[in-house]
Amino acid sequence: MSDMSASPAGPPTVMHVDMDAFYASVEIRRRPELRGKPVVVGALGPRGVVLSATHDVRPYGVRAGQPVGRARRLCPQAVFLPPDHDEYATVSANVMEVFRAVTPVVEPLSLDEAFLDLSGSLRRLGGDPAHIGEQIRARVADEQGITCSVGVASTKFVAKLAGATAKPDGLRVVPDDEVLEFLHPLPVDRLWGVGERTEAALTRLGLHTVGDIAHTPAATLCRALGQAAGRHLHALAWGRDERPVVPSEPERSIGTEETFPADVDDPAVVRRTLLRLAGRTGARLRAAGLAGRTVTLKVRFSDFTTLTRSKTLRDATDVGRDIYATACALHAGLGLERARLRLVGVRVEHLVPGDRPRQMVLGERARGWSEVERAADAVRDRFGGRALAPASLLADPGRDGRSRGPGTRR
């Protein structure tokens, strides 16, 4: 008798969708001449890291999170490109809309992957999760020009693993009665929570596969790894994962940040960076249908000390020009004109729906920068994230070569 709890009846309803080499795929989409060539996307400065790489560079040892310098040494023939986060955010939003056309229960994990709960949509869509997965893959390829891999199972953990085994550009469904057959031959490092130290501890116990862990008493694992880790791995080894798919919560703040390739003490460079970050933040607010009342500036010094300063506006805004003016005022108030900075960031908080009426000031024009920036959004949506930018940024050689932080915090 197995240690696995009773499986739910019916077809599996948890789907994991992951874009294949997302950033690199988006770059290849708009540069068709790169198709078939090894491509690496990452901040190209001395502190840059690999953000995405096509699958044909994996055999050389190139991985996401690796220093770009090491990636160049491992695969010098690859094409190295700076990231365009505006474009990736746009494509991601379009992909998420494809998912939400299938089910409203979508839990994004990042720009390029999400869990979907099909339980409420399965009957309406024909009852076959494999067919639904193929429809999603076809729509993403047709509408966005990139590929994705899909895994389907009755738990998040197994669905994610199933999709990983289907990469690139594939689909795998693991029915309930095949979960253990699928899981048990896998190496232990495929379990969530198994890093190098845990793997070493399991190896010392003679445990090399998921099946080895499953057939080891939970008490033994707890003595070796601790109560929480031992019970967690034992449950996963039997395919147990009780976590539901949780739809994304409304954004609490939206913003972005940049780490400079080298520490900066030039106020003009800082102001140009703030202009770029404010514009990107405004565009993301508008894309999300949101506006915010509080603008927060973040600065990190060369010694990694970090300061934040905030200002709450009279009215909520989604206008990059307003965000930029506020961020510059906050920066000036710090008195850091010649301080050496490693990072700056801009964030807007206290979000409200962007279509709420706004009290106008006497003499203020009814139409202004908001309409200008929305028109610019439409141009970038049609021609790409680099199609339009403030003139002061066009000659900035580093504007696409710096590493950037996450765009949305939940």
- For the annotated catalytic residues, the residue numbers are 113
> Do residues 191 and 22 make contact, with C-beta atoms less than 8 angstroms apart?
no
Angle 19-23-24 (CA atoms, 0-180°, nearest 5)? 100
Q: Determine the 3-state secondary structure of 318 from DSSP.
A: coil
> Do residues 146 and 19 make contact, with C-beta atoms less than 8 angstroms apart?
yes
Instruction: Please tell me whether the peptide bond between 353 and the residue prior to it is cis, using omega within 30 degrees of 0.
Output: no
> Do residues 302 and 340 make contact, with C-beta atoms less than 8 angstroms apart?
yes
SS3 percent helix, strand, coil of the chain, rounded to 5, is: 40, 25, 35
377 known member of a binding site = no
Annotate 53-105 with DSSP letters as a single string: E-GGGGGGT--TTSBHHHHHHH-TTSEEE---HHHHHHHHHHHHHHHHHH-S-
Which candidate, 352, 302, 310, 306, places its Cα nearest to that of 327? 310
Helix (H) or strand (E) holding 165: helix 156-165
> Do residues 373 and 320 make contact, with C-beta atoms less than 8 angstroms apart?
yes
Q: Distance between CA atoms of 28 and 33, rounded to whole angstroms?
A: 8
How far does the chain reach from its first CA to its final CA, in angstroms?
A: 43
Q: Distance between CA atoms of 395 and 389, rounded to whole angstroms?
A: 10
Give the CA diameter of the chain.
79
Q: What are the binding residues for Mg(2+)?
A: 18, 112
